[in-house]
């Protein structure tokens, strides 16, 4: 159900002058928001460094902490000012995680005093962070509206971007562009990473994807990534996992009790979820490649198991008919007999499976399981044929609209009232399918 678009994550090294105590999180500090840091003339705020369309009230992801850290480094380097996050809150679930520990240990003024004993140990992942500067990166092209980065344009100059810490290096690169634009008093240009023929690492663009799609979506309109899909890249999926791991979720093997408690607290029979299958891989690969994604309805919950009813054909009746007619026509032109029969046009396979909780990941209580389900997300979508008052029309629909259209058209049994109240009514949104059904009915 995805028509994929862009990229991923990578890694880096902590500054060499950090002490062992800093890396291990030893010392003497706990979060104390009652002692704000005083403002001085050489300080600059986070929102002064943001593009004009953005105003940040709370840092919501670990990747946003990395961006703040990088903006602070270039504010000092290019503007001679110190960044202070005074007045900006930080999501509580980040305070005990590694990104927060890294930025504090490396000098970011988070706006309140902290006791070092409360900081997480990030020494095992220190190589993932970036502490160098990207001034010498050679861009492939530059205009007032866009800068284009391609590693292979100048591999010598751009080698600084090729460590284990590539993901954090890209964050540093966009931070440099943002601060330099502020210094030069020009609008921040869009960063296009042109890597269509470049062989990238797993997780290479993950921080950029998180900054584009999660939290404050700071880079939603500031970064575009063109990358090769030859190796089966799944940067959206990688970003989903890492975003949750930055908050302390999806980062361990969960017990049956933990899974069952999460299931009972967040789901009930009749709920619609996204059911995924992953490819088996090396034991230390806990993200794993996705192989299948299907909408599913929870049809049963017991102490140690979950029943799912999932649907491999995500097409309205009309979409199915048009698709098979096109295949039939191609077969006719090639003077071959069509492999599809009348029954194929009406086919809507329903798969019923019962999973023991040891083999099924439950939403954010998922780690290495090859089967899992999550709450619905609305990143992708599909084209579907619908009847309109102007005839049949090929309509683009988001994931939520696609599921609703197919379920309604096919008569799937699910909790429709909860589905609409959860995903459509809060934003006063009417499903596209209902709009066309009403129009078609009105015409008749």
pLDDT tens digits along 31-90: 334 344 444 569 999 999 998 778 999 999 999 999 999 999 999 999 999 999 999 999
Asked if residue 197 and residue 265 are part of one domain, the reply reads: no
> Is 371 within 8 Å of 359 (Cβ atoms)?
yes
Tokens 């798969």 appear where?
A: 351
What confidence score (pLDDT) does residue 389 get? 78
Number of structural domains in the chain = 2
Q: Which two tokens stand for residue 314?
A: 């995500």
Asked if residue 170 and residue 50 are part of one domain, the reply reads: yes
Asked if residue 246 and residue 119 are part of one domain, the reply reads: yes
Where would I find the H helices in 25-151?
46-49, 62-74, 98-105
Residue 265 lies in a domain: yes
342: pLDDT strictly greater than 60? no
Calpha distance 95→58 (Å, rounded): 13
**387 pLDDT tier (thresholds 50, 70, 90):** confident
Q: How many CB atoms lie within 10 A of CB 428?
A: 6
Calpha distance 397→381 (Å, rounded): 6
Residue ending a domain, choose from 232, 251, 270: 251
> Is 279 within 8 Å of 303 (Cβ atoms)?
no
255 or 444: which leads in pLDDT: 255
Asked if residue 122 and residue 92 are part of one domain, the reply reads: yes
**16 pLDDT tier (thresholds 50, 70, 90):** very low
Rounded to the nearest angstrom, the gap between the alpha carbon of residue 213 and the centroid of all alpha carbons in its chain is 5
Provide CB contacts within 8 A for 16, sequence distance 6+: none
Residue 369 lies in a domain: yes
Comparing CA positions, the residue from 340, 267, 266, 262 lying closest to residue 300 is: 267
Calpha distance 218→253 (Å, rounded): 32
Angle ∠(211,214,219) on CA atoms, nearest 5: 30
Residue 419 lies in a domain: no
Residue 319 lies in a domain: no
Mean pLDDT across 193-201: 90
Asked if residue 1 and residue 141 are part of one domain, the reply reads: yes
Residue 424 lies in a domain: no
| 245: phi then psi, degrees, rounded to nearest 5 | -70, -30
Q: How many helices (H) and strands (E) does the chain have?
A: 13, 16
> Is 195 within 8 Å of 228 (Cβ atoms)?
yes
Radius of gyration in angstroms for the set of CA atoms belonging to the chain, rounded to a whole number? 25
> Is 409 within 8 Å of 317 (Cβ atoms)?
yes
Asked if residue 155 and residue 297 are part of one domain, the reply reads: no
b/e per residue, 84-102, with b = 16+ CB within 10 A? bbbebebbeebbebbbbbb
114: pLDDT strictly greater than 90? no
Calpha distance 307→442 (Å, rounded): 40
Asked if residue 193 and residue 296 are part of one domain, the reply reads: no
Residue 425 lies in a domain: no
Handedness of CA 243, 244, 247, 250 (dihedral sign): negative
Asked if residue 370 and residue 300 are part of one domain, the reply reads: yes
**347 pLDDT tier (thresholds 50, 70, 90):** confident
Comparing CA positions, the residue from 444, 413, 145 lying closest to residue 299 is: 413
13 or 425: which leads in pLDDT: 425
**331 pLDDT tier (thresholds 50, 70, 90):** low
249: pLDDT strictly greater than 90? yes
Calpha distance 107→14 (Å, rounded): 12
Calpha distance 137→302 (Å, rounded): 57
**12 pLDDT tier (thresholds 50, 70, 90):** very low
Calpha distance 248→425 (Å, rounded): 30
Residue ending a domain, choose from 322, 356, 374: 374
Calpha distance 37→107 (Å, rounded): 13
Instruction: State the DSSP string of 155-198.
Output: TTTTGGG-STTHHHHHHHHHHHHHHHHHHHTSPPPEEEEEETT-
| 414: phi then psi, degrees, rounded to nearest 5 | -155, 170
Asked if residue 276 and residue 211 are part of one domain, the reply reads: no
What confidence score (pLDDT) does residue 37 get? 43
Asked if residue 232 and residue 156 are part of one domain, the reply reads: yes
Asked if residue 204 and residue 83 are part of one domain, the reply reads: yes
The distance in angstroms from the start CA to the end CA of the chain is 32
Residue 300 lies in a domain: yes
Asked if residue 21 and residue 93 are part of one domain, the reply reads: yes
What confidence score (pLDDT) does residue 345 get? 67
Residue 321 lies in a domain: no
444: pLDDT strictly greater than 90? no
For 85, the domain range is 1-251
What confidence score (pLDDT) does residue 125 get? 85
**6 pLDDT tier (thresholds 50, 70, 90):** very low
Mean pLDDT across 220-226: 95
What confidence score (pLDDT) does residue 41 get? 65
Q: 355 in helix, strand or coil?
A: strand
What confidence score (pLDDT) does residue 4 get? 38
Counted residue by residue, the chain has a size of: 444
104: pLDDT strictly greater than 90? yes
> Is 164 within 8 Å of 120 (Cβ atoms)?
no
Per-residue pLDDT of 84-101, as tens digits, reads 999 999 999 999 999 999
Q: What is the mean pLDDT of the chain?
A: 86
């Amino acid at each position: 159900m995805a028509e994929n678009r862009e990229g991923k994550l990578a890694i880096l090294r902590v500054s060499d002058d950090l002490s062992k105590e800093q890396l291990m999180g030893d010392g003497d500090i706990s979060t104390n928001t009652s002692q704000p840091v005083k403002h001085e003339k050489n300080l600059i705020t986070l929102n002064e460094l943001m593009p004009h369309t953005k105003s940040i009230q709370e840092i919501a992801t670990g990747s946003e902490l990395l961006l703040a850290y990088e903006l602070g480094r270039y504010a000092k380097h290019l503007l001679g000012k110190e960044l202070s996050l005074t007045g900006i809150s930080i999501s509580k679930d980040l305070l005990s995680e590694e990104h927060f520990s890294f930025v504090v240990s490396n000098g970011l003024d988070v706006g309140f005093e902290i006791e070092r004993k409360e900081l997480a140990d990030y020494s095992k992942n220190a190589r993932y962070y970036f502490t160098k500067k990207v001034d010498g990166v050679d861009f492939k092209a530059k205009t007032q509206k866009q800068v284009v980065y391609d590693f292979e344009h100048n591999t010598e100059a751009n080698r600084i971007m090729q460590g284990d810490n590539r993901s954090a290096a890209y964050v540093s690169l966009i931070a440099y562009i943002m601060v330099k634009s502020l210094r030069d008093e020009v609008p921040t240009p869009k960063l296009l990473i042109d890597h269509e023929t470049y062989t990238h690492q797993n997780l290479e663009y993950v921080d950029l994807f998180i900054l584009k799609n999660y939290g404050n979506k700071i880079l939603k309109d500031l970064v575009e990534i063109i990358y090769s899909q030859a190796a089966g890249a799944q940067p959206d999926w990688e970003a989903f996992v890492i975003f949750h791991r930055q908050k302390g979720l999806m980062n361990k093997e969960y017990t049956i009790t933990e899974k069952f408690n999460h299931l009972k607290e967040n789901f009930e029979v009749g709920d619609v979820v996204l059911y995924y299958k992953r490819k088996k891989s090396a034991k230390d690969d806990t993200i794993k490649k996705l192989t299948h994604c299907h909408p599913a309805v929870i049809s049963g919950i017991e102490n140690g198991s979950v029943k799912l009813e999932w649907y491999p054909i995500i097409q309205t009746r009309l979409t199915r008919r048009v698709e098979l007619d096109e295949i039939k026509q191609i077969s006719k032109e090639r003077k071959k007999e069509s492999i599809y029969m009348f029954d194929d046009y009406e086919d809507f396979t329903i798969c019923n499976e019962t999973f023991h909780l040891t083999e099924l990941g439950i939403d954010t209580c998922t780690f290495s399981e090859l089967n899992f389900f999550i709450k619905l997300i609305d990143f992708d979508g599909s084209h579907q044929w619908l009847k309109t008052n102007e005839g049949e029309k090929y309509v683009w629909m988001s994931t939520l609209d696609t599921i609703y259209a197919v379920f309604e058209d096919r008569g799937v049994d699910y909790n429709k009232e909860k589905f609409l109240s959860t995903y459509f009514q809060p934003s006063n949104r009417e499903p596209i399918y209902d709009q066309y059904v009403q129009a078609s009915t009105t015409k008749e």
